[in-house]
Amino acid sequence: MTIESKEKEHGVAKRCKPACTEPKKQNRCRTITTKLAHPIQFNYAYDDEEETAPCHWCEDAIYGILGLGEVEVEIIDNEDGQGFIEVVDGHTETYGHSRMCEFCTTDRLKITACENHGIEPIEGIDPNRFDYKSVVDWMMPGMASQAPFAWCSICPSPAFFSCSTKPDIHMDGYEGDLYLGNHNGCGLLLCESCAVTMVSEHEGKLDKLIDSLENAGGDGGFGIRADASFLHSKGELLRRVGGV
C-alpha cells in the first residue's frame, strides 16, 4: 500500500470552497489548505483523572504525520491568538478541534528556537539497511507511536539524522531536557532526503526546506507532514504562542 493510498484512508479530498459570510476586514476571511482540524489548541492541559480528551499528538503520532486528509477550507482569522475558525466543510465539524498538549507544544518551540541546526546521524540506524516497505504498516491507526524508529519532523518518513545543537533558551521550573527524551539537541529529526536537501540546497535553513516541500506539493517525494509548518519561523505556532 502506497503513502497516497494511506492518505486516502484518512479522507484526503478537495472540498468545495464555502462562501465566507463574515465581512472581509483586515483579511479575516481567507482560504487555507490543511490536513488538521481548526482551531488548534496549543498548550492543551488534559487530566487523566478527570478523563478529559487527550492530546491528539500523544494519542496517535499519525495525527501529526498524515492528519485527517487534505482539504481547502475557508476560515476566519481574528488575529486574536485563538486560531483559525472554520466557516464550513473543515475537519472540526466531524472531529472537533485539534488539541496539542504543553509537552508536544514545547517540543516544537525548542526546534524553532534553534538558530543553527547541527545535523548528525542517529546511532544504531542505517538508511542503507532499513526496511522501507515496513513504514506503511506503522502508519496504521494507533501504530505510529509504537514504531521501532523515530519519525522525520518534516515528512512521513523514518528519521536517520538529528540536530545536535541545543537551543539557547530557558524554561522556568524545568531542568535539562524534560521534553526531549534522549535527544541531545533541539529535537529536530530528519530523514535522509530532508537532511541532505536542507544542508546541501538550503544552507541548513529549516524554513527553506519546509517552503520547498510545501511548494512541491504532491511532487515532493513522500510530501510533507500535516504539522510541519509549526516548525516554520512564520508558522501558526510562533505567531500564536511566541517563544518559550
* Tens digit of each residue's pLDDT (9 = 90 or more) over 98-152: 999 999 999 999 999 999 999 999 999 999 999 999 999 999 989 999 999 999 9
Q: Which of 183, 179, 185 is nearest to 244 (CA)?
A: 179
188 lies in which domain range? 3-241
SS3 40: strand
Number of domains in the chain: 1
C-alpha torsion sign, points 58, 64, 68, 71? positive
Residue at 123: amino acid letter: E
Q: Each residue of 32-59: pLDDT tens digit?
A: 899 999 999 999 998 777 778 999 999 9
Instruction: Give the pTM.
Output: 0.81
Are 83 and 236 contacting, i.e. CB atoms less than 8 angstroms apart?
yes
What is the rounded distance in angstroms from the CA atom of residue 243 to the CA atom of residue 129? 39
Tell which wins on pLDDT, 241 or 6: 241
